């Protein structure tokens, strides 16, 4: 359910960007950095490799892509947890 809500929100954000493209002719960039007002010169990590990955996710990847990936991860985690709990608490049938 939560994953589905996140996917719908992500698709609504994509539709908003497409409307902006149709209205102005320029692609409006909606990223995590633009939504959270994170400055471009802010250092988020002292580790270079981690810092570059975080910069890429925050500033380069569109927010709707991040949300769809997050929804897929949430769906997988919930499915995996449900399967593991079913295996753990499965009641074995009694022998006649």
**Least confident among 33-37, 54-58, 65-69, 89-93:** 89-93
* Tens-place pLDDT, residues 14-44: 998 899 889 988 888 888 888 888 887 777 7
* Predicted pLDDT of residue 77: 94
- The yes-or-no verdict on residue 96 having pLDDT over 70 is no
Enter the DSSP assignment of 92: P
Q: Angle CA(31)–CA(35)–CA(36) in degrees, nearest 5?
A: 115
Backbone phi, psi, residue 58, to 5° = -75, -40
Tell me the domain boundaries of the chain: 2-81
* C-alpha closest to that of 7 among 68, 75, 65: 68
């Amino acid at each position: 359910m939560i994953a589905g809500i996140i996917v719908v929100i992500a698709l609504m954000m994509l539709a908003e960007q497409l409307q902006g493209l149709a209205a102005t002719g320029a692609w409006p960039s909606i990223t995590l950095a633009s939504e959270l007002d994170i400055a471009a010169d802010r250092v988020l990590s002292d580790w270079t490799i981690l810092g570059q990955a975080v910069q890429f996710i925050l500033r380069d990847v569109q927010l709707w892509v991040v949300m769809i990936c997050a929804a897929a991860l949430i769906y997988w985690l919930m499915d995996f947890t449900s399967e593991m709990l079913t295996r753990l608490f499965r009641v074995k049938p009694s022998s006649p």
